[in-house]
């Protein structure tokens, strides 16, 4: 069984490329922050913040003036006076009890001379080192907080992945009870017959009805989420809706798109506009087919299929008439369990079809030897451990 709270970055039957223990990461990130917080508490929050702020201001003064205040020129001397005045004001303004006050005073002494060299600035920076520790403490706390937040984020992401993996394995366990010898052709054949009929009807519909009529069907599908026709590009939609050429069929528009402009002038009012609006969208027009009206194999569970077939009906009726609606109704009767054969069980056949279609040989072996159940147990343990540690962080 897998170690709880660890996940392996690999495929279902691949080789582990990385093992991540999110509980360990969370605990280490939390301990790191707690250690930094304790060190700050030892000195006092205000003490650390005051000393860190003073260090940063002093360090910035040295960085700002190191080039301008070194040398013998007039401008160098002027910059030196500015530096000494500002640094003196900084030191004099420090609280009497500020931590490492002597470090700031030593830094001031290092630059308290009429002519400065880079070595003087280096000595001043060295003198400030005791104050630097407080600045680094605050930086370390910021880093520790960010690291803990990122670790929490990764752990929550892992929880979502675990939920998906648990659902996947539960589904595999459901499929393990499927009757792989069930006569799934009794379900496959009526679905295949419907799909063949809907494709043939749609081809005839495209060849006989205007592009404007077809686009009206596509527009209507916006309100039916289970009828996923791709909507036409806006410029093409406007052209088909407003131009006289929109009364032609889609095959005819595609034929026009391949005409020369001189030949096209005999068929449409504006050859350039058709070239611009239609010829550039040939791939889209050629791709309009009955796929959104077909039923996938293996089919969806009964309730889901019934709902989708209900959404398909107005489109099927418009495209193929009552004959195609009859085929659609037959499928719905199967999903309702209203088959004339009392032994016909949609759920049993659907589960068997999914199992036959989706279960790989490796999954079947892992189901047979109990590894799927072991994986499921390990995932649940990992989920509980991560969730438990996250709960203590809130």
- 237 and 223 co-located in one domain: no
- 119 and 60 co-located in one domain: yes
Residue 15 tokens read as 């080789």
- Range from 32-46, 74-88, 316-330, 345-359 carrying the lowest mean pLDDT: 74-88
Asked whether 18 and 380 are in contact (CB, 8 A), the reply is: no
pLDDT interval class at 99 (50, 70, 90): low
In a domain, 207, yes or no: yes
- 49 and 122 co-located in one domain: yes
pLDDT interval class at 338 (50, 70, 90): low
- 223 and 328 co-located in one domain: yes
pLDDT interval class at 138 (50, 70, 90): confident
**Is the model's pLDDT at 190 over the cut of 90?**
yes
Which whole number is the average pLDDT over 62-72?
Answer: 64
Indicate the SS3 state at residue 70: strand
Closest CA to 279 of 319, 331, 324, 233: 233
- 265 and 325 co-located in one domain: no
User: Containing domain of residue 341, as a range?
Assistant: 180-229+291-357
Higher pLDDT, 56 or 279: 279
Q: How many domains does the chain divide into? A: 4
Q: What percent of the chain has pLDDT over 70?
A: 76
- 198 and 58 co-located in one domain: no
- 299 and 347 co-located in one domain: yes
**Is the model's pLDDT at 42 over the cut of 50?**
yes
In a domain, 32, yes or no: no
Positive/negative CA dihedral, 192, 196, 201, 202: positive
- 109 and 195 co-located in one domain: no
Query: Could you report the per-residue pLDDT of 111-128, keeping only the tens digit for each?
Result: 666 666 666 666 766 667
Positive/negative CA dihedral, 274, 280, 282, 287: negative
- 206 and 344 co-located in one domain: yes
The structure's pTM equals 0.58
Query: Could you report the per-residue pLDDT of 3-22, keeping only the tens digit for each?
Result: 444 555 334 543 333 457 88
């Amino acid at each position: 069984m897998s170690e709880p709270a660890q996940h392996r970055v690999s495929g279902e039957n691949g080789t582990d490329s990385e093992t991540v223990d999110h509980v360990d990461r969370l605990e280490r990130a939390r301990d790191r922050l707690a250690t930094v917080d304790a060190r700050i508490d030892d000195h006092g929050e205000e003490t650390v913040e005051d000393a860190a702020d003073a260090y940063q201001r002093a360090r910035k003064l040295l960085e700002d003036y190191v080039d301008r205040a070194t040398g013998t020129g007039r401008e160098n001397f002027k910059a030196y006076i500015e530096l000494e005045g500002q640094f003196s004001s900084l030191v004099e303004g420090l609280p009497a009890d500020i931590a490492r006050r002597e470090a700031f005073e030593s830094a001031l002494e290092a630059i308290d001379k009429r002519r400065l060299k880079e070595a003087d600035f280096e000595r001043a920076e060295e003198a400030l080192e005791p104050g630097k520790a407080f600045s680094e403490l605050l930086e370390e706390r910021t880093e520790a907080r960010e690291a803990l937040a990122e670790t929490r984020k990764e752990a929550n992401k892992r929880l979502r992945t675990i939920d998906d993996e648990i659902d996947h394995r539960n589904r595999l366990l459901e499929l393990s009870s499927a009757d792989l010898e069930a006569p799934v052709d009794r379900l496959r054949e009526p679905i295949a017959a419907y799909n063949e009929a809907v494709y043939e009807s749609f081809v005839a519909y495209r060849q006989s009805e205007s592009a404007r009529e077809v686009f009206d069907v596509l527009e209507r599908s916006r309100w039916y989420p289970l009828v996923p026709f791709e909507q036409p590009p806006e410029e093409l939609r406007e052209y088909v809706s407003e131009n006289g050429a929109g009364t032609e069929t889609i095959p005819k528009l595609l034929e026009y798109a391949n005409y020369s402009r001189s030949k096209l002038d005999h068929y449409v009012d504006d050859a350039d506009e058709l070239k611009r609006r239609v010829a550039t969208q040939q791939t889209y027009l050629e791709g309009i087919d009955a796929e959104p009206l077909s039923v996938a194999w293996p089919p969806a569970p009964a309730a889901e299929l019934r709902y989708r077939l209900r959404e398909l009906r107005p489109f099927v009726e418009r495209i193929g008439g009552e004959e195609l609606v009859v085929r659609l109704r037959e499928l719905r009767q199967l999903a309702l369990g209203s088959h004339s054969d009392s032994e016909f069980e949609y759920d049993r056949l659907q589960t068997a079809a999914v199992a036959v279609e989706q279960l790989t040989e490796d999954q079947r072996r892992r189901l047979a030897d109990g590894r799927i159940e072991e994986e499921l147990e390990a995932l649940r343990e990992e989920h509980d451990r991560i969730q438990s540690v996250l709960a203590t962080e809130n």
